[in-house]
């Protein structure tokens, strides 16, 4: 179902494409220049309508899909964020087209930035990809202004395209998490096993502590001499639990029984203790720290 949320910018409104927009979108594509970098000729109304119909038939992850770009109530173009049919791994691909009459006014950059920020921020995507025809200088300039990285080229959509990727900014993201523990050896055994299974690697070590790192974030366990208590209670004010992404449901299944220093929580309601649409395992370690392991994607194990 094509139902992405409404996005607004200084000059534009991006709202979900509907069947009622079909003729307005066809009108946008009547100029031959709009089809210059496509294999189809969308100046042919029949081909343009088929393109709109394909977009309306979108059936992918919630929150992604196709937008119309409106300026002052007029349909000025279209944009999309959807799983790529050209790139492997189900990655999300950005697309945008702005009518010739609105060219040169920065609207494509404004709309594309809104979609990228939404994908990386609100949806938490690990990356947003774009495929831009190698001769489409205007569109390449848009991705350049948005900070996309050019990672090569390939034949996509029947012609040579640049392959570009936008990655989340570090600004506002966690730098590190520090947990004070009563017993360093016990904490290192538990957290080392779990974080190691999730791809974290040891980062720092000193007499009172150890840390593990994944990307730009690291987690510390420390037996600090300034600790004022000898136990952690997750139901008291303070840290209740840590929630960590896990790549697939199958990997959540593998972790659900726990491991060295960890035991299952809410096992009787696994894997939906957090709700019917939330596939996760909950573990508690010997020091009372809770973790929630949330599947990013994939079918249930064994399905």
In this predicted structure, what is the pLDDT of residue 173?
Answer: 85
Partner residues linked to 217 by β-bridges:
214
Place of tokens 């848009």: 142
Q: Which of 113, 136, 166 is the last residue of a domain?
A: 166
| 220 inside domain | yes
Based on the domain organization, do 12 and 153 belong to the same domain?
A: yes
302 class by beta-carbon count within 10 Å (0-12 exposed, 13-18 middle, 19+ buried): exposed
CA distance 194 to 189: 9
Which of residues 216 and 41 earns the better pLDDT score? 41
Based on the domain organization, do 59 and 106 belong to the same domain?
A: yes
Based on the domain organization, do 29 and 130 belong to the same domain?
A: yes
| 175 Cβ contact partners less than 8 Å away, ≥ 6 residues apart | 216, 217
In this predicted structure, what is the pLDDT of residue 299?
Answer: 45
**Domain span at 289:** 176-297
Q: Which of 134, 166, 198 is the last residue of a domain?
A: 166
CATH of the domain at 233: 3.10.180.10
Based on the domain organization, do 38 and 99 belong to the same domain?
A: yes
* pLDDT higher than 60, residue 300: no
CATH of the domain at 125: 3.40.630.30
Based on the domain organization, do 13 and 145 belong to the same domain?
A: yes
Based on the domain organization, do 160 and 181 belong to the same domain?
A: no
| 122 inside domain | yes
* pLDDT higher than 90, residue 3: no
Residue 235 CB neighbours (<10 A): 8
In this predicted structure, what is the pLDDT of residue 2?
Answer: 79
Based on the domain organization, do 150 and 242 belong to the same domain?
A: no
Place of tokens 């702005």: 98
DSSP secondary structure string for all residues of 26-89: HHHTTSGGGGTTSSS-TTSHHHHHHHHHHHHT---STT-EEEEEEETTEEEEEEEEEE-SSSGG
Based on the domain organization, do 121 and 234 belong to the same domain?
A: no
Q: Is the Cβ–Cβ distance between 39 and 157 less than 8 Å?
A: yes
Task: Please state, rounded to an integer, the average pLDDT across all residues of the chain.
Answer: 95
Residue 60, φ and ψ in degrees, nearest 5: -140, -160
Could you tell me the pTM of the whole model?
0.74
| 160 inside domain | yes
Taking alpha carbons only, the member of 108, 134, 227, 145 closest to residue 179 is 227
pLDDT digits (tens, 9 = 90+) for 75-100: 999 999 999 999 999 999 999 999 99
Q: Which of 166, 192, 227 is the last residue of a domain?
A: 166
| 1 inside domain | no
Dihedral angle sign, alpha carbons of residues 294, 194, 261, 239: negative
Based on the domain organization, do 257 and 132 belong to the same domain?
A: no
Based on the domain organization, do 55 and 144 belong to the same domain?
A: yes
pLDDT digits (tens, 9 = 90+) for 20-51: 999 999 999 999 999 999 999 999 999 999 99
In this predicted structure, what is the pLDDT of residue 139?
Answer: 97
Based on the domain organization, do 28 and 153 belong to the same domain?
A: yes
pLDDT digits (tens, 9 = 90+) for 261-274: 999 999 999 999 99
| 257 inside domain | yes
Domain count, the chain: 2
| 132 inside domain | yes
Residue 133 CB neighbours (<10 A): 17
In this predicted structure, what is the pLDDT of residue 301?
Answer: 38
pLDDT band (50, 70, 90) for residue 120: very high
In this predicted structure, what is the pLDDT of residue 172?
Answer: 85
Based on the domain organization, do 275 and 158 belong to the same domain?
A: no
Q: What percent of the chain has pLDDT over 70?
A: 98
| 110 Cβ contact partners less than 8 Å away, ≥ 6 residues apart | 9, 10, 11, 12
Place of tokens 């200088």: 137
In this predicted structure, what is the pLDDT of residue 303?
Answer: 35
Taking alpha carbons only, the member of 50, 41, 52, 40 closest to residue 77 is 52
């Amino acid at each position: 179902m094509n139902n992405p949320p409404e996005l607004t910018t200084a000059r534009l409104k991006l709202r979900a494409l509907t069947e009622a927009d079909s003729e307005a979108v066809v009108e946008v594509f009547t100029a031959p220049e709009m089809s210059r970098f496509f294999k189809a000729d969308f100046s042919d109304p029949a081909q343009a309508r088929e393109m709109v119909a394909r977009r309306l038939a979108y059936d992918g992850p919630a929150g992604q899909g196709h937008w119309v770009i409106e300026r002052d109530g007029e349909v000025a173009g279209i944009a999309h964020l959807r799983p790529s049919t050209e790139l492997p791994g189900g990655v999300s691909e950005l697309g945008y087209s702005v009518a010739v009459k609105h060219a040169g006014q920065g609207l494509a950059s404004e709309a594309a930035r809104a979609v990228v920020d939404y994908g990386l921020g609100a949806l938490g995507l690990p990356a947003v990809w774009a495929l831009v025809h190698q001769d489409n200088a205007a569109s390449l300039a848009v991705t350049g202004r948005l900070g996309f990285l050019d990672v090569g080229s390939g034949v996509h959509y029947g012609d040579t395209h640049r392959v570009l990727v936008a990655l989340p900014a570090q600004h506002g993201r966690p730098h590190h998490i520090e947990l004070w523990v009563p017993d360093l050896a016990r904490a290192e055994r538990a957290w080392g096993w779990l974080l190691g299974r999730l791809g974290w690697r040891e980062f720092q070590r000193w007499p009172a502590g150890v840390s593990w790192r994944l990307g730009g974030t690291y987690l510390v366990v420390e037996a600090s001499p300034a600790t004022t208590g000898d136990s952690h209670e997750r139901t008291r004010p303070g840290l209740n639990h840590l929630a960590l992404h896990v790549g697939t449901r199958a990997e959540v299944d593998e972790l659900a029984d726990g491991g060295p220093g960890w035991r299952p929580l809410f096992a009787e309601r696994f894997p939906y203790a957090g709700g019917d649409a939330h596939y996760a395992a909950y573990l508690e370690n010997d020091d009372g720290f809770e973790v929630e392991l949330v599947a990013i994607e994939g079918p249930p194990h064994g399905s």
